[in-house]
Amino acid sequence: MDFADNLKNYQYVLAKMNDNDQGRRNKIKGDFLESVGMSSPKDSDGPEASSMRQQLLLLGCGNSKLGEDILHHFIDLQYHPISRIVQCDVSPVVIKSMRKRCCLHVGSDLMSLVEDDATRLKRFDDEIFDAVLDKGLVDALFCANENEQLRRVVKSAHRVLGKGKCFIFFSFSQPEFLLERSIAGTIAKIVKGKQKGKLKSGGGWSHMEVREMNGIYMYRFIK
């Protein structure tokens, strides 16, 4: 079962956190496009469905097969809600290896591999992506106490995202530690006391969600 199928089959425990929410929790059925905040052509009628062009950026891709899994997931379903997956990594060796491995996808323009630093994303213009996804970089920086680099990653993701679009990352770290210690002031500040778990949005994010998924957390920051 691939990554996208896993998201589809999960029952999430959703905790919405913003200025107008007291940390409400409920269970929802998972879906990949819903999780990353992207539209499905099945939800649209007419020419706009076939002309839908959404770009997904994967941060710190390494040699992960995540990008390929996502593409294959929709190829198997015979529809393409994501026009291109852009994978970036700071290592030129990794990018060279990935271009060779993913040559068919790169050649068909479904995927591109870009050497770039996730703390800057200088190769990308503002507001060009429909979703930014990370499954390990944020957690690695948090565990290494690289708080400033972590804040820069979040800031860069915000810059390249379109309005209303999502930055999604996965972490084993609980929100009260990850958010307060590493991203406080950039994203949100946890309010103590009776409203524990309530977050005040900051850094240009309109609101955020934390979803608990069988021992790992999905963080969704919506611009």
pLDDT in tens, 88-134: 999 999 999 999 999 999 999 899 999 999 999 999 999 999 999 99
At residue 212, the pLDDT reads 81
Q: Which residues pair with 74 in a beta bridge?
A: none
Q: Please, what are the domains in the chain? A: 3-222 (3.40.50.150)
Q: How many helices (H) and strands (E) does the chain have?
A: 9, 11
Reported as type and span, the H/E element at residue 74 is helix 66-77
- Coil vs helix vs strand at 49: helix
**Rounded Cα gap, residues 151 and 55, in angstroms:** 23
Residue ranges, the chain, pLDDT below 50: 1, 10-23, 47-51, 185-198
**Rounded Cα gap, residues 28 and 25, in angstroms:** 10
At residue 183, the pLDDT reads 64
Reported as type and span, the H/E element at residue 148 is helix 147-160
At residue 35, the pLDDT reads 82
**Rounded Cα gap, residues 60 and 120, in angstroms:** 12
Q: Which residues pair with 26 in a beta bridge?
A: 14
Q: Which residues pair with 40 in a beta bridge?
A: none
Cβ–Cβ under 8 Å, residues 211 and 7: no
